[in-house]
């Protein structure tokens, strides 16, 4: 047994979204006497001054290396990452995302260390090039020493991708609820209108079109509402063009990426989500912890956080009319909204704390490191597919 283990978190950031915040939550809750954290990120010209890097540094979570990329996939990064691993005596590299899986698995093999992959979601992209790249990322993920999905839905996705059972583990997602609670104690920012909101990446699987169309229909019925969309992504320009063609355009606000996302979340009267595919959404966990009533489409991952009529309101995927009726109920029935949000807050605080997640990852890191000399890692598949609460 070696303590502390040197674990390198590796990601190719596209912004500051769920996976990036997840890394901060995990690293911030790991016991430094057992796990010494460090961070490696790739940076392209468009991704300098990364917020993940700034916050990792401000919180003094460990060493940081930024690996410059000359283009979207620079194979030289593999060598530089392997050199960093060797020079810093890294024991385990922990990868997050398609590109980081490809680079991280290859660098780990060159450096002779363990590679653990945590998939945060699988993209149903429209773009053919992106779909091919995702396929490469999934192939690389399957060659990691361990794959650790963070929801039951992602666990099933990994099975479908034929990740070997002996390398498949399950640790339920967790979120740093302390920063949410700190914000929840502050006075809300009120705009004078009821605020329906979404926070997340503006990418195809988030299906923000449905939010816009549902809001436009509701806005024809009442003037006391506005829609706030926080986040950025390759769909933003198209979505802004779509909203400009709607009668509700003056009450639709695209705010882009914001450092004050939690203050904005606190101002919402409804948090809504119309994704077609999710892991277990961090933004939904934060909304529940903040005590914001939730109305969303009922898809795998979302259903792990929201039980219809208990911790929120769910509509079948694509059923805009039913989701619209849920928005109406939450806006018109304050007692119902308060009851659902209170139960959701109790649930997420009880079952999705980052401290519990960090303890389980610590155990897994140590166990895999101790067993790496064997020909095959023993499966914990049955043990870890149960809900650890």
Q: Is the pLDDT score of 308 beyond 90?
A: yes
Q: Is the pLDDT score of 381 beyond 60?
A: no
Residue 370 banded pLDDT, cuts 50, 70, 90? very high
Residues 269 and 256: their CA atoms lie apart, in Å, by 19
Residue 137 banded pLDDT, cuts 50, 70, 90? confident
Q: Are 371 and 167 in contact (CB under 8 A)?
A: no
How many helices (H) and strands (E) would you count in the chain? 15, 12
Residue whose C-alpha is closest to residue 330's, from 299, 291, 378, 289: 291
Say whether 177-351 and 5-174+353-382 share the same fold.
yes
What pLDDT is stored for residue 243 in this prediction?
98
Domain 5-174+353-382 adopts which CATH fold? Rossmann fold (3.40.50)
Q: Is the pLDDT score of 387 beyond 60?
A: no
Residues 158 and 168: their CA atoms lie apart, in Å, by 8
For 209, the 3-state DSSP assignment is helix
Q: Is the pLDDT score of 71 beyond 80?
A: no
Q: Is the pLDDT score of 366 beyond 50?
A: yes
Residues 92 and 370: their CA atoms lie apart, in Å, by 12
Residue 126 banded pLDDT, cuts 50, 70, 90? low
Q: Is the pLDDT score of 43 beyond 80?
A: yes
Residues 285 and 348: their CA atoms lie apart, in Å, by 7
Q: Where are the beta strands (DSSP E) in 140-240?
A: 146-147, 194-199, 225-230
Q: Is the pLDDT score of 11 beyond 70?
A: yes
Q: Mean per-residue pLDDT for 72-95?
A: 93
For 303, the 3-state DSSP assignment is helix
What pLDDT is stored for residue 170 in this prediction?
95
Residue 351 or 210, more confident:
210
Instruction: Please state the pTM of the whole predicted model.
Output: 0.72
| Model pLDDT for residues 329-344, shown as the tens digit of each residue | 999 999 999 999 999 9
| Model pLDDT for residues 172-219, shown as the tens digit of each residue | 988 888 889 999 999 998 888 999 999 999 999 999 999 999 999 999
Whole-number average pLDDT of the chain: 90
| % of the chain beyond a pLDDT of 70 | 92
DSSP per position, 102-143: HHHHHHHHHHT-EEEE--------S-HHHHHHHHHHHHHHTT
* Buried b or exposed e, range 98-113, using 16+ CB within 10 angstroms: bbbbbbbbbbbeebeb
Q: Is the pLDDT score of 376 beyond 90?
A: no
Q: Mean per-residue pLDDT for 39-56?
A: 82
Could you give the strand order of the β-sheet that contains 146-147, starting from the edge strand earlier in sequence?
Answer: 63-68, 35-43, 5-11, 92-96, 114-117, 146-147
Task: Give the best-scoring range by mean pLDDT among 37-46, 97-106, 122-131.
Answer: 97-106
Q: Is the pLDDT score of 30 beyond 50?
A: yes
Helix, strand, coil percentages, rounded to 5, for the chain? 45, 15, 35
The answer to whether domain 177-351 has CATH 3.40.50.2000 is yes
The domains of the chain are located at: 5-174+353-382, 177-351
Q: Mean per-residue pLDDT for 362-367?
A: 96
What pLDDT is stored for residue 373 in this prediction?
60
Residue 3 banded pLDDT, cuts 50, 70, 90? confident
| Model pLDDT for residues 262-281, shown as the tens digit of each residue | 999 999 999 999 999 887 88
Residue whose C-alpha is closest to residue 355's, from 26, 94, 118: 26
């Amino acid at each position: 047994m070696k303590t502390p283990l040197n674990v390198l978190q590796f990601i190719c950031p596209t912004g500051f979204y769920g996976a990036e915040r997840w890394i901060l939550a995990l690293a911030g809750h790991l016991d430094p006497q057992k796990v010494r954290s460090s961070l490696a990120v790739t940076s392209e010209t468009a991704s300098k001054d990364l917020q993940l890097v700034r916050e990792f540094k401000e919180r003094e979570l460990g060493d940081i290396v930024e690996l410059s990329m000359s283009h979207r996939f620079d194979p030289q990064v593999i060598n530089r990452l392997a050199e960093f691993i060797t020079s810093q005596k890294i024991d385990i590299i922990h990868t997050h995302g398609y590109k980081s899986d490809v680079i991280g698995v290859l660098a780990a093999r060159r450096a002779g260390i363990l590679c653990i992959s945590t998939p945060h979601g699988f993209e149903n992209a429209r773009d053919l090039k992106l779909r091919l790249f995702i396929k490469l990322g999934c192939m690389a993920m399957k060659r990691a020493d361990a794959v650790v999905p963070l929801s039951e839905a992602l666990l099933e996705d990994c099975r479908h991708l034929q990740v070997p059972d002996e390398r498949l583990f399950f640790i339920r997602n967790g979120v740093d609820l302390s920063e949410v609670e700190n914000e929840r104690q502050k006075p809300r920012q009120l705009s004078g209108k009821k605020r329906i909101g979404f926070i997340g990446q503006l990418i195809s699987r988030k299906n923000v079109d449905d939010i816009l169309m549902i809001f436009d229909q509701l806005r024809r019925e009442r003037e006391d509402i506005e829609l706030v969309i926080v986040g950025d992504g390759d769909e933003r320009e198209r979505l802004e063009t779509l909203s400009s063609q709607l009668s509700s355009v003056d009450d639709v606000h695209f705010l882009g990426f914001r450092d004050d996302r939690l203050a904005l979340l606190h101002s919402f009267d409804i948090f809504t989500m119309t994704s077609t595919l999710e892991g277990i959404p961090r933004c939904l966990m934060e909304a529940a912890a903040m005590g914001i009533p939730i109305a969303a489409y009922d898809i795998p991952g979302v259903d792990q956080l929201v039980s219809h009529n208990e911790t929120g309101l769910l509509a079948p995927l694509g059923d805009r009319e039913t989701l619209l009726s849920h928005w109406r109920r939450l806006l018109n029935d304050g007692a119902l909204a308060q009851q659902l949000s209170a139960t959701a807050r109790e649930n997420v605080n009880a079952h999705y704390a980052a401290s519990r997640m960090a303890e389980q990852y610590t155990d897994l890191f140590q166990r895999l490191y101790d067993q790496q000399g064997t020909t095959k890692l023993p499966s914990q598949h049955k043990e870890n597919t149960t809900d650890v609460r």
